[in-house]
Amino acid sequence: MIGIGQLGLPIAVNLMRAGYRVVGFRRTDREAFTRAGGEALQSPAEVTRAADVLLLCLPGEDAQAAVLHGADGVLQALAPGKIVIEMGTYTRDYKVQQALRVQQAGARMLEAEVSGSPPMVVERRAALYVGGDEGLFQECKPVLDAITEHHFHLGDVGSAVAMKLIANTLVTIHTLAAAEAMNMGVRAGFAPERVAEVIRQGAGNSAMFTIRAPLMAARAFTPAPGSFNTLHKYLRLGAGMARELGCATPLFSAAAPYFLRALEGGMGEEDIAAVIKLLEAESRPSNPSGSFSLE
């Protein structure tokens, strides 16, 4: 596996728990991987030669290009019979071109987009959206099962990233909605912990409320399960896909600017639950009595 950081590490650990031998490469901070039982190698090419199935989990296209094309990179070491599972999120066109380069080296590629935070991966509650050949998907099912039982084959390469961007538009909308509800609950006189507890049991709950309302209540924004910096590219790619498809996005268009403002305000390393701070700043001073009128 290449890319054993915040997301890649729990994926690798799940594979090891399922009995797979996992070799990996990361430029720095390999200790957690080796403590978990992984074997750290010295270059992407070395990992590629040692692995039958190569998982790539890198943060952006620049990092991906360096790993693929750089000195001791993946493409120079790929050989017929190898399988690449691309787990990073890039544009559809980039993914399609990557798959062609992998095929030109004689190997085969799936894309597998992760929908879920690192803690969800640890608990095997994350979902994998998979694009690529159906036969290759079936061949790779034991590996995918080791990561999570929730995986969905969606079509050709490029289909998985489309579904991931749809999912992350909802993450954006639902996180802001959770912050709006938490802010309203506190201003209505409830303890934030009580709001988080009660709403989770009713019709207004969502996955993002379940995950992020407790963080909002505890003001636990670091370390971040999902930071503003991480969300940033999904805001950009999601907006681009919506424009390309001609979609009306009234909720996403209203929500996204709050997360961009947080980035501009230096909150990039905080969890996106911290968007509640922007709503609190926009709200009128609280009524000290906590009472309110419905008139």
Q: Edge-to-edge strands of the sheet including 127-131?
A: 53-56, 83-86, 108-115, 127-131, 150-155
Rg for the chain, CA atoms, rounded: 21
pLDDT on residue 285: 82
Positions in the chain whose pLDDT score sits under 50: none
pLDDT of the residue at 289: 56
**Exposed, middle or buried by CB within 10 Å (0-12, 13-18, 19+), for 96?**
middle
Q: Identify whether the C-beta of residue 208 lies closer than 8 Å to the C-beta of residue 178.
A: yes
Q: How far apart are CA 178 and CA 180, in angstroms?
A: 5
Question: Helix (H, G, I), strand (E, B), or coil: what is residue 39?
Answer: strand
Closest of 112, 234, 248, 87 to residue 165, by C-alpha: 234
Encode 118-167 in three state secondary structure. Answer: HHHHHCCCCEEEEECCHHHHHHHHHHHHHHCCEEEEEECCCHHHHHHHHH
pLDDT of residue 288: 58
Cα–Cα distance for residue pair 232/61, rounded to 1 Å: 14
d(CA 134, CA 130): 10
Whether this prediction's pTM lies above 0.75 is answered by: yes
What pLDDT digit, counting tens, does each position of 80-92 carry? Answer: 999 999 999 999 9
How long, in residues, is the chain?
295
Q: At what angle do helices 250-264 and 228-245 cross, to 10 degrees?
A: 150
- Two tokens, residue 71: 């000195």
Domains in the chain (CATH in brackets) are 8-157 (3.40.50.720), 162-282 (1.10.1040.10)
User: What is the C-alpha separation between 128 and 84, in angstroms, rounded?
Assistant: 15
Query: How confident is the model at residue 117, as a pLDDT?
Result: 86
Which residue reads 């954006």 in tokens? 172
Residue 159: Cβ within 10 Å count: 20
